[in-house]
Chain A
């Protein structure tokens, strides 16, 4: 397993840096264009939540992102030390928009749904902070470059 770590201030202005880093790693692993785009959205959603639910607590807060390259794919851990929110409940309730009247639409809650829909596996550990672990498996035919 190869591990790449990145730490950013818990601020929206740095989430694009996480996407760029992910793009580099996933390209090197030869993930498909679609898979890379999917992972970019999923990782951003986890970082969005870390920024929205935590950074008001302390100015020095950071988000730690850990990319773990394994034979089967890429595992990404997004960890913050803020109080977080009830991820377990949100994961269970995450749904796309239902066929309803426009007036009844909710504009929030799509982030967690997207994470689940775009990744193969999403786990959340809340223990003195929030850690989201999301995994994307590399499909057959693609090879992991530079790992020989």
Chain B
């Protein structure tokens, strides 16, 4: 999830990010790479969902990705949610 993939990711999120009555779950299981571009998008989603008071969970974060989320302080704002709640 880098600068070249950012536009596609934003486009994919666009129709669903504002659906306040649904739970948005981002599964990162197959994510191999992320940099500040991808982290920026996740922060934007966090802000939109927070403003809507809507649920947003991030699951199955690979170790290498988790490290960058921890380093940048993004981890502190992410919730994994409870299985079955979706």
Q: What 1/0 flags go to B39-83 for Cβ under 8 Å of A?
A: 111011011001100000000000010001001111011000000
Measured CA separation A114–B65 after assembly (Å): 13
B72 contacts across to A, CB distance below 8 A: 96-97, 110, 113-114
* Closest chain A residue, CB of each to CB of B43: A107
Q: Report, as a range, how many residues of chain B touch the other chain.
A: 20 to 34
A118 to B74, CA, bound (A): 16
In the docked arrangement, what's the CA distance between A70 and B81, Å?
A: 47
**Is residue A68 within 8 Å, beta carbon to beta carbon, of the partner chain?**
no
Q: In the bound complex, do residue A16 and residue B74 qualify as a contact, i.e. CB atoms below 8 Å apart?
A: no
Interface of B is mostly: helix
Q: How far is the CA of A15 from the CA of B3 in the complex (A)?
A: 8
The interface-forming segment of A40-48, A71-79, A126-134, A137-145 is: A40-48
Main secondary structure of the interface of A (DSSP, over half): helix
Name which residue of chain A comes closest to B77, CB basis: A102
- Number of A residues near B (Cβ < 8 Å) is 29
Given known A97-B76, A114-B68, contact A102–B40 (CB-CB < 8 A): no
Q: Is B19 an interface residue (CB 8 A)?
A: no
Q: Are B36 and A48 in contact (CB under 8 A)?
A: yes
Of B4, B40, B74, the residue contacting A13 (CB under 8 A) is B4
Q: Name which residue of chain A comes closest to B42, CB basis.
A: A107
Query: Chain B nearest CB: distance from A63 CB in Å?
Result: 12
Q: Which residues of A contact B (CB under 8 A)?
A: 12-13, 15-16, 19, 37, 40-41, 44-45, 48, 51-52, 96-99, 102-103, 105-108, 110-111, 113-114, 117-118
What 10 A-B pairs come out closest when comparing CB atoms? Answer: A97-B73, A111-B36, A96-B73, A12-B4, A102-B50, A12-B3, A107-B43, A107-B40, A110-B36, A44-B35
Interface residues of B (CB under 8 A from A): 2-4, 6, 33, 35-37, 39-41, 43-44, 46-47, 50-51, 64, 68, 71-74, 76-77
